[in-house]
Amino acid sequence: MENFSQLVNKLDTMLEASASDKDLENWSRNYLHNHKKRYLHDIKLVEENYNTGKILELGSAPYHLTFILKEMKLPVTGVDISPERF
């Protein structure tokens, strides 16, 4: 499995390559880098407490944590009140 830094770099590269809206891309990439510490903390909580079953991430936009958990091969579904924003 890729480590956390590799997953963040992979996500950052994907955001840069796929965004059609540069303002949204810049916002999302800044958000990713500003929240890396929180994402790492959240992932550690999941690793310490997850046993079996599905993971539901509420309020998941911009879906960074959802992506990272999926890359970790965890069964996660991300939902948000306004998913069309992303």
Mean pLDDT of the residues in the chain: 87
Per-residue pLDDT tens over the stretch 45-71: 999 999 999 999 999 988 999 999 999
State the SS3 of 23-72: HHHHHHHHHHHHCHHHHHHHHHHHHHHCCCCCEEEECCCCCHHHHHHHHC
26-32 average pLDDT score:
88
